[in-house]
Amino acid sequence: MIDLHCHILPGIDDGAKSLDEAVALVRLAADQGVSRMVATPHIHLGIFDNNLQTINDAFMHLSAALALTDIEIELRAAAEVRVSPEIMLFIEQNKLPFIGRFDGKDVLLLELPSSHIPPGTDKLVNWLLTKNVLPMIAHPERNRELQAYPERINLFAQSGCLFQLTAASLLGDMSKGAEVLAQKWVTDKLYTVVASDCHSVLRRPPKLAQAWQRVSELTDIHYANDVTRITPALISSCLFND
């Protein structure tokens, strides 16, 4: 399986707190059958002020540690970027990393606040598309406005956005609202990919294997493979052909 959203880079956001925990998270993922991980630390202005340099430094630190282990996994780094007006400037200045490419466009993992859809998000999405950047909306099932008004996902679907389901949402480890909406959108086959969004060994470990099982129960094995293997591999393949 391929994990396109995980917080395994040590010490730069609310994910792995140490190098040891980062290695342990990667090992847990590999034990589940994950063969490729794209680390996606937060870029959230004023909260996690990461940039290409801080992400690359942490990535190199973790890569060096993994080279000393027996863990066989492909690793690259991108980011989960919180919606903000500054995204436009960062895109113009080539300061944001992408998780891959899809349909000839760079894919940006775009995070909404948990509470609402900020005014102007539709305009930001449309602007990104004019720049050949395709937003992948991270865990929309966790957004409380979408939990109350699920039809508002059409704002993004009609623009052609991709959607990422967090495994823990589907498995009931987040809120009940997130679980209910995740099940609905899995049944509707809305999601493009399922990812772990893992943060820690104990509190939020990787559960991609369990999510694959649940998706296959709600839909079918073909869709479960599409969202955990085939499409994530397609999106991230350009990152592994440097």
From CA 235, how far away is CA 160, in angstroms rounded?
15
Locate the domains of the chain by residue range. 2-240
Task: State the pLDDT at residue 242.
Answer: 39
Model confidence at 238, pLDDT cuts 50, 70, 90, reads confident
Per-residue pLDDT tens over the stretch 109-139: 999 999 999 999 999 999 999 999 999 999 9
Question: If you classify domain 2-240 with CATH, what class do you get?
Answer: alpha beta
From CA 40, how far away is CA 22, in angstroms rounded?
13
Per-residue pLDDT tens over the stretch 42-57: 999 999 999 999 999 9
